[in-house]
Amino acid sequence: MSDSSFAARAAALDAADRLAGARKLFVLDDTVYLDGNSLGALPAHVPARVQEVLTREWGELRIRSWDESGWWTAPERIGDRIAPLVGAAAGQIVVSDSTSVNVFKAVVAATRLAPEGRDEILVDATTFPTDGYIAASAARMTGHRLVPVAPADVPGALGPRTAAVLLNHVDYRTGRLHDLPGLTAATHAAGAIAVWDLCHSAGALPVGLDAHAVDLAVGCTYKYLNGGPGSPAYLYVAERHQAVFDSPLPGWTSHADPFGMTAAYAPADGAVRGRVGTPDILSMLALEASLEVWDGVSVEDVRAKSLALTDFFLECVAAYVPQGRVDSVTPAAHAERGSQVALRCAEAEPVMAELIARGVVGDLRRPDVLRFGFTPLYVGFADVERAARVLAEVLDGVPAAA
């Protein structure tokens, strides 16, 4: 198929796109931005909201804003905004701290929720490094043994000593979507607690935390949720566990009477137990404003477009790029694919640098992976066609590795 045929298909797909109108809600330029799985684009209305927070809520109201502007309740209020995007009922998500801190809370709390006598923590062997580092530290602190295992091998590794299992919903490097329903059910059948990291799935595909009886989950908000650099993460605590959820980081804002300033700690009810210290209000309220782009948007529509975008990209790459120069490490099966495509390329580093110079922004995962993330709210099919075409042009100018 000719370049013009792919371009014509892209135009037709964009014309029929139910989510095409969302693109205008973001600050974008002529760049093809395929790195929203690292940092989402800026929603256009957020600067004005942040300016209001700075000038009126902080500048004029000052301390009064904890009550009058709703600062104090922001972690739970924003958690309830995120909840529908991950398939959770209200009252189970608190926005707080970083993903890393929430992983620590969740893993240690999971060992405390698990039945007595269990001393093993299973961790995704292919996980984002920090999850592994923190799981290892949590294991040392709690006297558990850490067992790294590939997600597909978890059912065979589970046993009567398993206390908790920490897994990534989508592999950050390859884009492989793991079987959250099946692995959660297997974990429960073994009597253990399931903890999921949703950083590369929330906002890109349905998660179904409640439907699949997930115990605990964490995630960031600066990728597909577009909350901004360093925006606070979130912690999901299933309602059935909240009364006994025992955080390893009990802070004053998770106290039942935070302003009582008592020496003894008494945990608050509900997901509030996941809080620790004073909320980071500026980034939190920027996140809250960013989530307005989801008003009226169906996660199922987002998933359908995500799969269509990644399918089209792989098709364009196969047509445009000389055979043998790249190889997809992202599963072809829809049930196993997140919202990114990772291409193995021997010349990945210079190729990605040149792609970015030509206005196609993905990212590099050393030593040899070109990673492209597709955010359905603002990426279109013409972007996809252009990205594949420019990739072919770049590879044509970069000598193949010997």
Report the catalytic residues: 128, 197, 222-223, 371
- What does the buried/exposed string (b/e) look like for 299-328 if buried means 16 or more CB atoms within 10 Å of the residue's CB? beebbbbbbbbbebbbbbbebbbeeebbeb
* CB contact at 8 A, 323 and 271: no
Indicate left, alpha or beta for 230 from its phi (over 0: left) and psi (-120 to 50: alpha): left
Q: Is the dihedral of CA 57, 62, 63, 68 positive or negative?
A: negative
For β-strands 120-124 and 145-149, DSSP reports them as parallel
Taking the C-alpha atoms of residue 78 and residue 96, their distance in angstroms, rounded to an integer, is 10
Strand partners, 145: 120
Please count the CA atoms within 13 angstroms of the CA of 94 that sit on its side-chain side. 28
* CB contact at 8 A, 38 and 383: no
Taking the C-alpha atoms of residue 123 and residue 107, their distance in angstroms, rounded to an integer, is 10
For β-strands 234-237 and 93-95, DSSP reports them as antiparallel
